[in-house]
Amino acid sequence: MNTLFNQPLKVVNAGLAGFANNIQKVGGEAIALSWQPPALGNIDAGLDLADLLRHPLVEQANQVAMERYLNAQPVLVDVMMADEAIPAMAERKLILHSGPPISWENMCGPVKGAIVGAILFEGWATRHEEAELLAKSGNIDLEPCHHYTAVGPMAGIISPSMPLWVIENKTNGQRAFCNFNEGLGKVLRFGANNDEVLQRLHWMRNELAPALKVAVRHIGELELKPLMAQALHMGDEVHNRNAAATGLLIKRLVPALLASNLPLEVMQRVVAFITGNDHFFLNLSMAACKVMMDAAAGVPFSSMVTVMARNGVNFGIRLSGTGDQWFQAPANPVEGLFFPGYGVDDAAADLGDSAITETAGVGGFAMASSPAIVKFVGGTPADATNNSRRMQFITLGSNPAFTLPALNFAPTAAGIDARKVADRGILPVINTGIAHKQAGVGQIGAGITTAPMSCFVDAIQALAQTVMQGAKK
């Protein structure tokens, strides 16, 4: 010991950085290690995590889930009305919303406003006050999109008369659905529900959807994975930036529209609407990611995350190995850039199903391919690259279909492993839009957020119970 203390002091400090600072002040060498206990310091969860790490049942299950995800082939096959695509909507008054389950009284402003708009759009009420009373009454079922293999951005509202993109996984025949993107400004997904919004929704149902249905049928089947991969090489990350992907989609849709017998004025309105909205592809990207993640769902004992979604109040995740169970926590704030005149106090909590893109390994996980996105969400191109690299530490592997030019064409990190998140303290990164907390104001910024750690801690404990029961059989 005497010999040890006579030598120059070299210390690795885990904990408060102040301890390392004091050592450095007296001439010692100290490295401050950024470390925290796994699973938020929850002892029981930590023990469960230790049991799950390298557990043969979990490892085998994750291999199956990852293989199913990688083998998924999302293809655009049709445009359908919601009550045709989702049979439950033809049987009862049902409106779908984004995120995990939530009751009307607990919903945020944008979701409430969007539900009121959907009720008016369906003709179930004629006045806003009447629509709100109907929503409160319990006579309309309000359920998550994810419960019906669907997704929707921001408020995520889908009602029976709304048109949906139909995406099919050609590997297993499963389908996923997403509504149409309305564009920017006063739109339903941010809770706006005035006459302008309702008229646009009626036009989308009556003219846009039939035209796109004709175009999709003329194309036959449009493979989306190659299109998304190409867009990543053109500066998109297919969540908050879809300019390239939308352009690639337009190249397919316009010739199909021109080959149809649609009236010229209809084609002009349809093409003008699509070309005027760089986010038009977002909803297709979401449905493609949803059908890829659904392929990996339902594998007993798998720790792979198959859903991340937010409802403007809570953030929820699902694991492949725990079935339909949600693990929820209050949504984390979004750190980013606000439009002039707005700030943190104006913002709703994180909102929307669009985090399905990150769940599938694109979006925030592919930020390295989209350096221009930082002008929208904040940070620097180096931050974008670092985010993509960090995600490699919490995933089961990578997706060779999606590569990142800025990282020497390395594949995107994919297959979020709840064990690694809880063990390493690295949260999945998500880039997202920021909605005003009041219905109808609209988007007030964009930024970067993360999933709450407690969701993963709860999921680990539930999975450990499942694995323990499975090991006894």
Q: Along the chain (473 residues), what's the average pLDDT of each consecutive run of 10 residues? A: 69 76 79 80 94 96 98 98 97 97 96 97 97 96 98 97 98 98 93 96 98 96 98 96 97 95 95 96 98 98 98 97 97 88 90 97 96 82 92 98 96 98 96 89 89 97 93 71
Question: Domain 43-64+296-472's class?
Answer: alpha beta
CB 413 within 8 A of CB 163: no
CB 371 within 8 A of CB 381: yes
- DSSP for 76-105 reads EEEEEEHHHHSTHHHHS-EEEESSS---GG
Question: Domain 74-285's class?
Answer: alpha beta
Please, which residues have CB within 8 angstroms of residue 165's CB and are 6 or more apart in sequence? Answer: 76, 79, 177, 178, 179, 180, 283, 284, 287
Give CA–CA dist 470/65, Å, rounded: 17
pLDDT digits (tens, 9 = 90+) for 231-283: 999 999 999 999 999 999 999 999 999 999 899 999 999 999 999 999 999 99
Give ∠ CA 59-65-69 in degrees, rounded to 5. Answer: 140
- DSSP for 293-359 reads HHHHTT-TT--BEEEEEEESSEEEEEEGGGTT--EEEEPPPPEEEE-TT--GGGBPPSEESTTHHHH
CB burial of residue 446 (10 Å; 0-12, 13-18, 19+): buried
Give CA–CA dist 184/198, Å, rounded: 14
Nearest to 460 by CA among 358, 293, 314, 322: 322
pLDDT at 11: 81
pLDDT at 151: 98
**What residue spans define the domains of the chain?**
2-35, 43-64+296-472, 74-285
Q: Judge if 43-64+296-472 and 74-285 fold alike in CATH terms.
A: no
CB 291 within 8 A of CB 360: no
Give CA–CA dist 394/385, Å, rounded: 16
Residue at 309: amino acid letter: A
pLDDT at 473: 66
CB contact burial 206-229 (16+ within 10 A = b; e otherwise): ebbbebbbbbbeeeeebebbebbb
Q: Which two tokens stand for residue 386?
A: 């670092």
C-alpha 34: how far from chain center: 29
Give ∠ CA 404-409-414 in degrees, rounded to 5. Answer: 55
Pairing of strands 327-330, 314-319: antiparallel
CB 459 within 8 A of CB 423: no
pLDDT at 472: 72
CB 146 within 8 A of CB 286: no
Q: From the CA atom positions of the chain, what is the Rg in Å?
A: 23
